[in-house]
Structure 1
Amino acid sequence: MISSLAWVPPGAASASPKYADVPEEELERLAHRARDVARRRDSRRRDSDASDASEDEDGMTDDDSDASSGDASDESDWEEVEADAEEDLDEMAADEEDAKETTTKAVAKAKAVAKAAKGMVDDLAELNMDAYDDEEEDERAAAGRLFGSGRMTHYDGNEDDPYMTIKDSDDDEDEMPDDMTMAETDLVILAARTDEDVSHLEVWVYEEAGVTGNAETNLYVHHDVLLPAFPLSVAWMNCAPKSGTNEVNCAAIGTMYPGIEIWDLDCVDAVEPVTTLGGYSDEAIKAASKKGKKGGKKESKALKGGSHEDAVMGLSWNREFRNVLASASADTTVKIWDIATETASQTLNHHKGKVQACEWNPAEPTVLLTGSYDKTAQVVDVRAPDNASLTWKVGADVESAIWHVGSPTQFLVSNEDGLVMCFDTRMGSKSDCVFKLQAHDKATTGLSMASGAPNLLTTCSTDKSIKLWDLNDGKPSLLCQHSPQVGAIFACGFSPSVPYLIAAAGSKGTVAVWDILSEAAVKQTHGKTLEQYYRVSK
């Protein structure tokens, strides 16, 4: 299943991703293992040489046995082996009478070996292996005459063959593109996926039809990274840890573990994250590894200072203050992280239940929206976290919470009952909602609004459908709906640069992209607005 997804802004991904270096510790471990293998091989070789120096029970030396078993390469060698056997016969015939029977058997055995070996040489000579290639050529020619009705034409190269459209010169000049190369027109989607007991962060590439020269769209996994636990949230960010200023292509991942891993998306085959915010201390991880505890819950005292104490359910990166990341946790807290120092600068305790969602206000980047299992949505200004936050009751556990793109003082919340509610912060805490919408019969698991068309809202649900709503004048109306065949849907989102594309993912573990311009109702009401982003025409 895919539990969370996020779009990567266009141009953020490197055209030529780098490959991860093998850690020095791993190289040393491999070198040590190679030395051990070499020592064992040398020891076995010395033991074998010592054994070969002794004679066998039949009176034949191991050297003779090796020769009789196939080391000789021509007939003269086998004749020499047979002559040695005759000499053994003459010597053993002079022994005492009681050894005659044993001697006769040994000689017969030696003769049989020599005779079999000589017969093998004769058989090889009859096969005439030196002329094998010539015979194979004759057979191919015969087959050509049989299946080609006696006509077979051979060309030395593609240049001479009139039926070949790709000439040799084209092969030399045109290099095959690298499978890992990303085009400027590629759109990238991050998906947090789990199959049974294995979890990954997958980097999907979407190639739009008509944009890259392809007649059809193409959606595939470019690469992925292995995660330590079931992923719950993912957020793209371009702030480098320990720097706070360098622009990078990174992803923050929240899992069932209390740590937040930050991965470099431009690094393929990476085995460890760039850093981890909070989580278990290195000493606790090493101790658990020695005891063989791979999945057990560790003591809270083993956590790093300032860490969450339970699963990280929501993440939001601040695009204005690029070194700031907000995290929502099942430990009922919200933390504000300084990515440059890799520490939690603030811990907010305004919720009484698990915190499922958080998002920074795009117009007021110090204002944070949060939603919880205590059936409330709250808004807090982190510049004055001790002041009381604004609170609204939403009737059920919060599934998703986002800011209204067209009206930054308003926000939308969805709950497990399928409801979507819109509130206006200017009306104050506990005020009535601007509108209430029964979007789905089952839990409305995701919300997203298009930056290019501020009044378009998409919702997704465990009922396996995505719906598109028009919010003009605060009166939502259904434009269209879509069933992308990804199972129960847990996440959806508009592309930030191409607002007519919506990505969705769910229980079947795959990603689907919906082009809403293919819907007549959308084209009629929002066609002119969305077509200015149409990349095919450009």
Structure 2
Amino acid sequence: MIAAISWVPKGVAKSVPAEADPPSKEEIEQILKSGLLDKREDSDDEEAEEDMNVDESKENEDDEVAIALAAADALGKATQVSSVGTNDIIDGLKELDMDNYDEEEEGIELFGSGLKDLYYASNDMDPYLKDKDNDSEEDDDMIIRSDDSVIVCASNEDDVSHLEIMILEDLSDGETNMYVHHALIIPAFPLCTAWLDCPIKGGERGNFIAVGSMEPAIEIWDIDIIDEVQPSVILGGIADIKRKGKKKSIKYKKDSHKDAVLGLSWNKEYRNILASASADHSVKVWDVTTEACNLNYE
């Protein structure tokens, strides 16, 4: 399901996106403190309750499987078997000695006659490496050209949310080709997006997508990085979740929305300004460089 879509101006994206660095210890601790995992546990508990009826309906099926496995086990261990065909099968399995299948006998070389078969002087000489022409084509697909059109699709499939960076290229024969260049996994179901080029990380301009979701936080992702696991900026969101029995209290960050973010709009003239609208009936104006809310209307 595609929930939102945004164009990226031509020539803005890096020709070859950078690889993401693994999250630091501080970033991991920040994720744990954010309460996101606790909220996911709540979601899992709700889904578990909804699936109780389904689990009950599967019990009979599981019982039948258990009975079948027990019967098969008894058949294999029986001392007297009347069927000649079954005896043949059991004898054959014993002869194969499947329990020791992975153990190699000394002196036997299964895949070669010596070390000379284990390597080649160069990759060009190795026939088992995939075709070099295909490698060249894959490397070529990773390049984003200045005349390529770039689209960012926010989608959800099998309860996993993504930002898919798609390339729309003009081919030499006058036709067009569209494909997913890379994708980023995001933590919550997306509802809206807005592209912005504010230089959050320095330089003259950036290439970012702001994402509004079912959560009160607004995440801004660097789409010039492949396999990024953390947004560059988070505006608002949950500061802490406290539990007392079955009840829980949520503490929000200062000036945060209190409900899902339904709309986002970037100010092209004042490039550090982003406006947001929420299901909590409020409109906020953010400075993405300071992560502060400058204006609030409810």
Classify the TM-score, shorter chain: 0.5 to 0.7
Q: Which sections of structure 1, spanning at least 5 residues, go unmatched? A: 29-68, 74-119, 131-156, 158-170, 350-538
Q: CA offsets, 1:266-313, max 9 Å, x none?
A: 0000011001000112x54xx79xx9xxxx99744x211010000000
In structure 1, what is the equivalent of residue 73 of structure 2? none
Q: CA deviation at 1:175?
A: 5.4
Structure 1's 308 and 298: CA in aligned 2 closer, same or farther, altered over 3 A?
farther
8 Å contact kept, 1:242–1:340: no
In structure 2, what is the equivalent of residue 12 of structure 1? 12
8 Å contact kept, 1:242–1:339: no
In structure 1, what is the equivalent of residue 31 of structure 2? none
Structure 1's 222 and 70: CA in aligned 2 closer, same or farther, altered over 3 A?
closer
Which among 233, 236, 241 is matched to residue 278 of structure 1? 236
Q: Does 1:200 align with 2:162?
A: yes
Letter in 1 for 2:141: D
Which among 231, 244, 249 is matched to residue 207 of structure 2? 249
In structure 2, what is the equivalent of residue 103 of structure 1? none
> Partner of 1:273: helix, strand, or coil?
coil
Deviates more, 1:2-11 or 1:252-261: 2-11
Residues in 2 aligned to 1:320 and 1:253: alpha-carbon distance in whole angstroms? 20
Letter in 1 for 2:15: A
Work out which of the two has the higher radius of gyration on C-alpha atoms and give 1 or 2: 1
Q: CA offsets, 1:46-86, max 9 Å, x none?
A: xxxxxxxxxxxxxxxxxxxxxxx954x4xxxxxxxxxxxxx
Residues in 2 aligned to 1:299 and 1:248: alpha-carbon distance in whole angstroms? 37
Residues in 2 aligned to 1:344 and 1:204: alpha-carbon distance in whole angstroms? 31
Which among 191, 201, 206 is matched to residue 153 of structure 2? 191
Q: Does 1:240 align with 2:189?
A: no
Query: What RMSD, in angstroms, separates the aligned Cα atoms of the two structures?
Result: 3.6
Q: CA deviation at 1:207?
A: 1.1
Q: Does 1:325 align with 2:257?
A: no
Aligned pair count reads 204
Letter in 2 for 1:222: H
In structure 1, what is the equivalent of residue 183 of structure 2? 224
> Partner of 2:277: helix, strand, or coil?
strand
Letter in 1 for 2:18: K
Structure 1's 257 and 217: CA in aligned 2 closer, same or farther, altered over 3 A?
same
Where does 1:109-508 land on structure 2 (aligned, <5 Å)?
A: 177-209=139-171, 213-214=172-173, 216-241=175-200, 246-281=204-239, 283-284=240-241, 299-300=249-250, 302-349=251-298
Q: CA deviation at 1:338?
A: 0.9
8 Å contact kept, 2:197–2:207: yes
Letter in 2 for 1:341: T
Letter in 2 for 1:195: E
> Partner of 2:229: helix, strand, or coil?
coil
Q: CA offsets, 1:253-276, max 9 Å, x none?
A: 000000000000100000110010
In structure 1, what is the equivalent of residue 22 of structure 2? 22
Residues in 2 aligned to 1:337 and 1:226: alpha-carbon distance in whole angstroms? 24
Q: CA deviation at 1:24?
A: 3.1
Residues in 2 aligned to 1:185 and 1:10: alpha-carbon distance in whole angstroms? 6
Residues in 2 aligned to 1:274 and 1:188: alpha-carbon distance in whole angstroms? 20
Which structure has the higher relative contact order (CA within 8 Å, separation 6+)?
Answer: 2
Structure 1's 242 and 269: CA in aligned 2 closer, same or farther, altered over 3 A?
closer
Structure 1's 70 and 9: CA in aligned 2 closer, same or farther, altered over 3 A?
closer
> Partner of 1:306: helix, strand, or coil?
coil
8 Å contact kept, 2:233–2:288: no
Letter in 1 for 2:209: A
8 Å contact kept, 2:4–2:191: yes
Residues in 1 aligned to 2:16 and 2:229: alpha-carbon distance in whole angstroms? 19
Give the percent of matched residue pairs that are identical in Structure 1 and Structure 2: 45
Letter in 1 for 2:213: T
8 Å contact kept, 2:167–2:179: yes
Q: CA deviation at 1:218?
A: 0.7
Residues in 1 aligned to 2:165 and 2:247: alpha-carbon distance in whole angstroms? 29
Q: CA deviation at 1:241?
A: 3.4
Residues in 2 aligned to 1:224 and 1:70: alpha-carbon distance in whole angstroms? 47
Residues in 2 aligned to 1:10 and 1:298: alpha-carbon distance in whole angstroms? 47
Residues in 2 aligned to 1:338 and 1:216: alpha-carbon distance in whole angstroms? 41
Q: CA deviation at 1:346?
A: 0.7
Structure 1's 228 and 70: CA in aligned 2 closer, same or farther, altered over 3 A?
closer
Structure 1's 27 and 307: CA in aligned 2 closer, same or farther, altered over 3 A?
closer
> Partner of 2:151: helix, strand, or coil?
strand
Q: CA offsets, 1:116-150, max 9 Å, x none?
A: xxxx9xxx9xxxx96xxxxxxxxxxxxxxxxxxxx
TM-score normalised per structure 1 = 0.34
Residues in 2 aligned to 1:25 and 1:226: alpha-carbon distance in whole angstroms? 20
8 Å contact kept, 2:274–2:286: yes
Q: CA offsets, 1:345-385, max 9 Å, x none?
A: 11012xxxxxxxxxxxxxxxxxxxxxxxxxxxxxxxxxxxx
Letter in 2 for 1:338: D
